[in-house]
Amino acid sequence: MTRVSGRKLIASPCCHTLYAMTSYMSVNYSSFAFWTDGKRDGSLMPNDSGLRKCQCGNYFLQSEAVKLEIPAGDDREFAPHVHTFDLKHAIATATSEKVELAARRDYWMHLNDSYRKKYCTHRDAEDAQTDANWENEWSRENPDDRSIFKKLIDKFRRIKLQRPPINPNRPFTFPAFQPTTKQVENMERIIELLLSSTERLHLEYPIELAELYRELGKFDTAIKLINGIKDEDQDSLSRLLLELAIEKTTAPIRYRS
């Protein structure tokens, strides 16, 4: 459960403008669905990199803001989120590689959104057709042979007609994914920034790198990275990415954690 413990003051690292920032006692990243590129549907927490735009025009990360540990008044504004149409400008004017990486991560998910729409439309249509076919087939094999009188009695007693069980053999397909030149360039630059980063997370748990290589069609590199993760750090996402890479699938995939 996500629990908020108030608002505290922060100062932007560029010009020290004061903003409010939410303080959390606990966080819950539960979502209706997750995507392999990091996007979350219906998330209980903001699904961004913490990139914000200062009033001076610069972009900064909330994690790098000066924490004043002073309660913020109700009239203190939050630092504005960066709109998708500002991401290219944030990338071009980034004052550090960390800011550029955050902007490019958000841009990566944004550029994948058009495919997400195709994916969801395709999956909804396939599931609906599969369910209809399954229900029709089950109904033919299990006809309702009750008499008219029995149907009336059951309706009066609110006895519902038996429904078909869940289809155990639902197909799972999705549209082909072919990244554009813009997407390829952005993903390749994210890889450069991750590899040059001094933080060790991308080395100890290189899921983001593996996903980038997979979407770029560099399956052998993705497989090598995932297989290099310690057994105790393997999880459902790493296993999914390994399976997709082995199958030579490049598409961002929706899954449940």
Chain segment 155-201, per-residue pLDDT in tens: 767 767 667 777 777 889 999 999 999 999 999 999 999 999 877 76
pLDDT higher than 70, residue 149: no
pLDDT higher than 90, residue 122: yes
If you average pLDDT over residues 9-22, what whole number do you get? Answer: 95
- Return d(Cα 92, Cα 100) in angstroms, integer: 8
- Return d(Cα 27, Cα 1) in angstroms, integer: 6
pLDDT higher than 80, residue 116: yes
If you average pLDDT over residues 126-148, what whole number do you get? Answer: 78
| From 1-5, 91-95, 105-109, 187-191, the region with the lowest mean pLDDT | 1-5
- Return d(Cα 17, Cα 11) in angstroms, integer: 5
The overall average pLDDT reported for the chain is 89
Q: What is the pLDDT of residue 198?
A: 78
Q: What is the pLDDT of residue 164?
A: 72
Residue 50's nearest CA partner among 58, 60, 42 is 60
Beta strands in 27-160 (DSSP E): 33-35, 40-41, 51-53, 59-61, 66-71
pLDDT tens, position by position, 237-256: 999 999 999 999 999 999 98
Q: Which two tokens stand for residue 64?
A: 């790098």
Q: What is the pLDDT of residue 218?
A: 98
pLDDT higher than 90, residue 130: no
pLDDT higher than 90, residue 211: yes
Q: Residues in the chain, how many?
A: 257
Query: Among all chains, which residue has been given the structure tokens 């955050």?
Result: 102
Q: What is the largest CA-CA distance in the chain?
A: 80
Q: Is the pTM of this model over 0.95?
A: no
pLDDT tens, position by position, 33-87: 899 999 998 776 778 889 999 999 999 999 999 999 888 888 999 999 999 999 9
Q: HEC string of 179-213?
A: CCHHHHHHHHHHHHHHHHCCCCHHHHCCHHHHHHH
H or E, element range at 155: helix 148-156
User: Coil, strand or helix: which one is 166?
Assistant: coil
Please give the share of the chain, as a percent, with pLDDT higher than 90: 64
